[in-house]
Amino acid sequence: MKKKTLFIVTTVPETLDTILKNQPKFLNNTFDVSVVSSPAPALDRVAKNEGVSVHPVLMSRGINVFRDFISLFFMIKLFLIHKPDIVHSYTPKAGLIAMLAARLCFVKIKIHTFTGLIFPTQTGFKKCLLIFIDRIICKSATHIVPEGEGVKRDLLSYKITSKQLKLIGNGNIAGIDIEYFNKNNNSINTNLKSELSIPVEHFVFTFVGRLNIDKGLKELVNAFLLQTEKNHLLLVGDIDDTAPIQPDIMAIIKNHSRIHMLGFHSDIRPALIASDVLVLSSYREGFPNVVLQAGAMSLPVIATDINGCNEIITPDFNGWLVEPRNEDSLAKAMQNAINASTPSLSLMASNARTRIVERFERNTYLKTLENFYVQLVKS
């Protein structure tokens, strides 16, 4: 029997090259998989790694009506040529372009996965516009997948759609490779702490993510400054110029002797293994991969009490939850982590990995995703 054709669409290829890595390759055993994303060097890596057909269609992340119509035209052309049986989009712009194109091309199964929603933290016209776009995506799709329960609640409470919303597995969009993210993996560079001249006995907090205003870097830096001199903060991620953090906070980051700005690292495991606690101070998330990755590395997490984070972290079990935008709440949690006994932190670390292994292991997720597609085709 001929395989059904599945097109996976993301706005930028980095999503396929990192979070969704090896997913198209796995699904290609059951379906004839193609991926669609904006042209970039990462797309070439995806083609080489996944062994599936790759189609470049330029899509801009921001709102640009002219460019979006051009993207829609080329997406329609692509779908008319290849006639996919299933189109599955991730990320907002890919969702808008791919779902509209698939609807206009009468694709039978149209799936969009909502990850982190942007509109709940916006105001005024921009919030209304983003809600309108998400409603168009839902109207065009036949199946809506929220990445987590928090995303599901927001889609329902804002009346974005009346269609059935169902998570795949326990949430997230990829699962975690628990062998790769394992503190006992011999391939990990364990020398980062010494390379940064951090004394062995000093406590290390680590943040991983884009350095932008929505990640709560202001609160994180100010909370860190309230701690003693025997603490360090690692910042792993690129500066995001589209939503820059406050200039005074950036100045502190660049000049403070115990704040280490490491930039983007494709392999974050050395930073995690050098750390005592991961801190995620975001204002909004969908289902943060870095919290899952840290958990798999047996690392307790301090995270804001927001969508996704509060679906992974249980206070005093595998970490701490703090109020968003509240540096006092964050500082208190950081102090609690510093003052925690070694047996207490060790138990949290063990609990953290157990939770990821039991709920978010990658192979289990991939089989669940495969079955999700199979059942849609059957129905």
What is the pLDDT at residue 123? Answer: 86
What is the pLDDT at residue 341? Answer: 96
Same domain flag for 196 and 65: no
Q: In this model, does residue 174 exceed pLDDT 80? A: yes
Structural domain total, the chain: 2
Q: Which residues 6+ apart lie within 8 Å of 270 measured at CB? A: 188, 189, 190, 191, 192
Q: Which of the pair, 61 or 371, is modelled with greater confidence?
A: 371
DSSP 8-class letter at 176: B
Same domain flag for 12 and 157: yes
Same domain flag for 80 and 215: no
Same domain flag for 156 and 207: no
Same domain flag for 138 and 263: no
Span 341-350, average pLDDT: 97
Same domain flag for 153 and 248: no
Same domain flag for 22 and 115: yes
Q: In this model, does residue 220 exceed pLDDT 80? A: yes
Domain assignment of residue 333, given as a range: 192-360
* pLDDT bucket at 133, cuts 50 / 70 / 90: very high
Q: In this model, does residue 120 exceed pLDDT 90? A: no
Residue 166 lies in a domain: yes
Q: In this model, does residue 315 exceed pLDDT 90? A: yes
Domain of residue 346, CATH code = 3.40.50.2000
Span 32-47, average pLDDT: 97
Residue 185 lies in a domain: no
pTM value > 0.95: no
Same domain flag for 331 and 373: no
Same domain flag for 31 and 169: yes
Mean pLDDT across the chain? 95
Listing DSSP states for 103-120 in one string gives: HHTT-SEEEEEE-S-SGG
Same domain flag for 142 and 265: no
Span 16-22, average pLDDT: 94
What is the pLDDT at residue 290? Answer: 96
Q: In this model, does residue 121 exceed pLDDT 80? A: no
Same domain flag for 121 and 55: yes
Residue 182 lies in a domain: no
Q: What is the dihedral of CA 306, 307, 309, 310, to 10 degrees?
A: 80
Residue 63 lies in a domain: yes
Same domain flag for 132 and 212: no
Q: Which pLDDT tens digit goes with each residue over 60-101?
A: 988 889 999 999 999 999 999 999 999 999 999 999 999 999
